[in-house]
């Protein structure tokens, strides 16, 4: 991949100049000037319609952003990404989560070797195992079928599975799926109190199998399970554990040490990043929750998007266009955050999932040469489903002082028979992006207040508070229906957007050293708490630790 400071490109300088010309232009003016704007700034792809016409760009912006992508040689970077080059240089790893969703017949090359046969083998294992649990043929140690599954993991070993099992709740089977992630003991206890050990399967998910939170929870769960073993069942502890514990990790040795039966071990690979791992055996709880066929559809949807990203021209390439818009707001308008607003309750964990995927990837302050960047990278991601978010934080987006580009994700058809709700939901969806764009002028407000019978004096007083500037940018992603396949495509769309942003910003998107620091310090403080020795901490931390110790 080329190693280019984006700010040194000709396109960047031209974008800076162009920004000065366009920065005050209102979206309404842009729409007036370009009659075919909706057509020019939208992409139709399968059951996706992506409208980015409500952005503060014109044809020149569009062209210059695409020039920028060419100047940093995005096409060559895309090739490296899919061909298994070690683009995660600081960990000397390839980034091949896309290889997990290739068809069985495809070759997924890594260091001259096809790794797809291994991937397919694990998928077959997921299929066999999930089928036996769902059908009830996998029995617990007292001969009863499994009713509850607990995914024990954190970060990428939790957020993907939990987001998807919630998103695909409509497709769910009879198994109750639970998630334990936080090292907060109250979290695990709250989950355990709902469970019967005889009918529960625990899936321990940790890429490294060294993560403090997950191992602590796994040990607590094992103790809880062993304490409740019924002697009259006449089975050994190991044999009972083998019926109730499975694990997913790259660290197969550590899993075996933990005591999990080799048949219940699902390997993964270090060329799959934690936050992109739901397509691997990390997705076991997804397959258990919605069935293996639906898990396959999810992978197929992601594969569809991979092909779109790999094969489409940059100007009609959804992840590329979305990433360039983020660069435009982040680096030229100085916008710091981006809101993700899905108009479906099923996607209520999607913003949280994207927080890890996007912020852990592109929250970097040095470039690929290890030099501090002199431009902004990363975006703060936040959001909640509409319409709830409209009644919570939309006020600030509409009338606050910050510029917050927002992605609106909506579906044409609901999953249940429509009883009038969906039109109401979608009326809000369309109304918000229109209102964010148009705002409300003084004339409109005063006319409205006049009609309500307010006096001139009252109107004058109220006017400034009721005016909306508008000019707030949004992307609308309109999809036919929320299915495993469309969800797979949607997630992959953001994955590739992350990649493109990282290429433009010339940063390494696939390591996470910032998180490692916190892990090291927590281990040290845990040790200090045990030793009751806080000598080498600053006065604030020392005081806090002392007060905590005295509790």
Q: Shortest approach of ligand F6P to residue 458 CB, angstroms?
A: 55
The residue among 260 and 409 lying less far from ligand F6P, judged by its C-beta, is 260
Q: Shortest approach of ligand F6P to residue 266 CB, angstroms?
A: 13
Task: Mark the segment that binds ligand F6P (CB under 6 A) among 201-209, 219-227, 421-429, 482-490.
Answer: 201-209
The residue among 344 and 361 lying less far from ligand F6P, judged by its C-beta, is 361
Half-sphere exposure of 85 (CA within 13 A, CB side): 10
d(CA 500, CA 308): 14
The residue among 56 and 207 lying less far from ligand F6P, judged by its C-beta, is 207
Structure tokens at 46: 């399968």
Cα distances (Å, whole numbers) of residue 42 to 50, 67, 500: 5, 19, 19
Rule CB under 6 A: say whether 483 interacts with ligand F6P: no
Q: Shortest approach of ligand F6P to residue 46 CB, angstroms?
A: 29
Using alpha carbons, select from 282, 259, 75 the residue that is nearest to residue 159: 282
The residue among 106 and 521 lying less far from ligand F6P, judged by its C-beta, is 521
Segment 140 to 179, residues that bind ligand F6P, using CB under 6 A: 154-157
The residue among 55 and 364 lying less far from ligand F6P, judged by its C-beta, is 364
Q: Shortest approach of ligand F6P to residue 516 CB, angstroms?
A: 7
Rule CB under 6 A: say whether 126 interacts with ligand F6P: no
Site string for ligand F6P, 53-92 (x = CB under 6 A): ----------------------------------------
Rule CB under 6 A: say whether 274 interacts with ligand F6P: yes
Task: Mark the segment that binds ligand F6P (CB under 6 A) among 3-11, 98-106, 205-213, 476-484.
Answer: 205-213
Task: Mark the segment that binds ligand F6P (CB under 6 A) among 170-178, 192-200, 202-210, 289-297.
Answer: 202-210
Q: Shortest approach of ligand F6P to residue 256 CB, angstroms?
A: 17
Q: Shortest approach of ligand F6P to residue 177 CB, angstroms?
A: 18
d(CA 253, CA 265): 10
Q: Shortest approach of ligand F6P to residue 38 CB, angstroms?
A: 39
Q: Figure out which of the listed residues 88, 102, 151, 214 binds ligand F6P, where binding follows CB under 6 A.
A: 214
Q: Figure out which of the listed residues 61, 98, 211, 476 binds ligand F6P, where binding follows CB under 6 A.
A: 211
DSSP β-ladder status, 48-51 and 148-152: unpaired
Q: Are 220 and 185 in contact (CB under 8 A)?
A: yes
Task: Mark the segment that binds ligand F6P (CB under 6 A) among 206-214, 311-319, 364-372, 404-412.
Answer: 206-214
Rule CB under 6 A: say whether 206 interacts with ligand F6P: yes
Q: Shortest approach of ligand F6P to residue 515 CB, angstroms?
A: 4
Rule CB under 6 A: say whether 275 interacts with ligand F6P: yes
Among all residues, which ones are annotated catalytic?
360, 391, 519
Q: Shortest approach of ligand F6P to residue 51 CB, angstroms?
A: 33
Using alpha carbons, select from 332, 397, 323, 404 the residue that is nearest to residue 362: 323
The residue among 515 and 526 lying less far from ligand F6P, judged by its C-beta, is 515
Report the DSSP beta bridge partners of residue 340: 407
Q: Shortest approach of ligand F6P to residue 376 CB, angstroms?
A: 23
Residue 33's CB: how many other CB atoms inside 10 A?
10
Rule CB under 6 A: say whether 208 interacts with ligand F6P: yes
Q: Are 265 and 256 in contact (CB under 8 A)?
A: yes
Segment 337 to 396, residues that bind ligand F6P, using CB under 6 A: 360
The residue among 274 and 301 lying less far from ligand F6P, judged by its C-beta, is 274
Residue 435's CB: how many other CB atoms inside 10 A?
17
Site string for ligand F6P, 486-515 (x = CB under 6 A): --------------------------x--x
Alpha carbon distance, N-terminus to C-terminus of the chain: 54
Q: Are 250 and 267 in contact (CB under 8 A)?
A: yes
The residue among 325 and 507 lying less far from ligand F6P, judged by its C-beta, is 507
Q: What is the CA radius of gyration of the chain?
A: 26
Dihedral of CA 301/307/313/319: which sign? positive
Q: Are 385 and 342 in contact (CB under 8 A)?
A: yes
Q: Are 350 and 167 in contact (CB under 8 A)?
A: yes
Q: Are 375 and 417 in contact (CB under 8 A)?
A: no
Rule CB under 6 A: say whether 438 interacts with ligand F6P: no
What lies within 8 Å, CB to CB, of 373 at 6+ separation is 5, 364, 365, 366, 367, 505, 506, 507
Angle formed at CA 486 by CA 483 and CA 488, multiple of 5 degrees = 105
The residue among 155 and 473 lying less far from ligand F6P, judged by its C-beta, is 155
Q: Figure out which of the listed residues 207, 222, 496, 497 binds ligand F6P, where binding follows CB under 6 A.
A: 207
Dihedral of CA 182/183/186/189: which sign? positive
- DSSP labels, 41-83: TEEEETTEEEE-TTSS--HHHHHHHHHHHHHTTHHHHHHHHHT
Q: Which helix (H) or strand (E) holds 222?
A: helix 212-227
The residue among 214 and 483 lying less far from ligand F6P, judged by its C-beta, is 214
The single residue listed with the structure tokens 């899919």 is 82
Give the binding site for ligand F6P (CB under 6 A): 154-157, 206-208, 211, 214, 274-275, 360, 512, 515
């Amino acid at each position: 991949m080329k190693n280019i400071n984006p700010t040194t490109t000709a396109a960047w300088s031209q974008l800076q100049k162009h920004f000065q010309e366009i920065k005050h232009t209102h979206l309404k003016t842009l729409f007036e000037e370009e009659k075919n704007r909706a057509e020019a700034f939208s992409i139709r792809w399968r059951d996706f319609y992506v409208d980015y016409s409500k952005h503060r760009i014109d044809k020149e912006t569009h062209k210059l952003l695409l020039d920028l992508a060419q100047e940093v040689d995005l096409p060559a970077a895309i090739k490296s990404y899919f061909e298994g080059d070690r683009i995660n240089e600081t960990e000397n790893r390839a980034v091949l989560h896309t290889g997990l969703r290739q068809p069985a017949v495809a070759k997924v090359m890594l260091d001259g070797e096809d790794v797809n046969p291994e991937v397919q083998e694990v998928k077959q294992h997921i299929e066999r195992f999930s089928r036996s649990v769902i059908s009830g043929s996998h029995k617990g140690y007292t001969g009863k079928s499994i009713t509850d599954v607990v995914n024990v993991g954190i970060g990428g070993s939790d957020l993907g599975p939990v987001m998807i099992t919630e998103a695909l709740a409509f497709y769910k089977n009879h198994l109750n799926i639970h998630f334990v992630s936080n090292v907060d003991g109250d979290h695990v206890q709250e989950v355990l109190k709902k469970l019967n050990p005889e009918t529960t399967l625990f899936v321990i998910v940790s890429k490294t199998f060294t993560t403090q939170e997950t191992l602590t929870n796994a040990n607590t769960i094992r103790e809880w399970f062993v304490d409740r073993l019924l002697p009259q069942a006449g089975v050994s502890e190991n044999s009972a554990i083998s019926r109730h514990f499975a694990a997913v990790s790259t660290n197969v040795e550590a899993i075996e040490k933990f005591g999990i039966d080799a048949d219940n071990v699902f390997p993964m690979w270090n060329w799959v990043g934690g936050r992109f791992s739901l397509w691997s055996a990390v997705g076991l709880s997804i397959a258990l929750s919605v069935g293996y066929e639906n898990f396959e559809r999810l992978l197929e949807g992601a594969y569809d998007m991979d092909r779109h990203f790999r094969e489409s021209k940059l100007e009609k390439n959804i992840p590329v266009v979305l990433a360039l818009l983020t660069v435009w707001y982040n680096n030229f308008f100085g916008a710091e955050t981006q809101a993700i607003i899905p108009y479906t309750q099923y996607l209520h964990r999607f913003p949280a999932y994207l927080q890890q995927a996007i912020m852990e990837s592109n929250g970097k302050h040095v470039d690929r040469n290890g030099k501090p960047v002199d431009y902004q990278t990363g975006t703060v991601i936040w959001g909640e489903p509409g319409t709830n978010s409209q009644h919570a934080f939309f006020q600030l987006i509409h009338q606050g002082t910050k510029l917050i580009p927002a992605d609106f994700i909506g579906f044409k058809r609901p999953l249940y028979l429509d009883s009038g709700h969906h039109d109401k939901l979608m009326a809000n969806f369309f109304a918000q992006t229109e209102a964010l764009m148009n705002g409300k002028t003084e004339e409109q407000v005063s006319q409205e207040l006049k009609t309500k019978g307010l006096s001139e004096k009252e109107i004058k007083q109220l006017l400034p508070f009721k005016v909306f500037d508008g000019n707030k940018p949004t992307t609308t992603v309109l999809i036919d229906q929320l299915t495993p396949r469309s969800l797979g495509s949607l997630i992959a769309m953001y994955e590739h957007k992350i990649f493109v942003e990282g290429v433009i910003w010339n940063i390494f998107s696939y390591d996470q050293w910032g998180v490692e620091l916190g892990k090291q310090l927590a281990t040290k403080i845990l040790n200090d708490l045990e030793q009751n020795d806080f000598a080498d901490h600053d006065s604030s931390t020392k005081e806090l630790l002392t007060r905590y110790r005295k509790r």
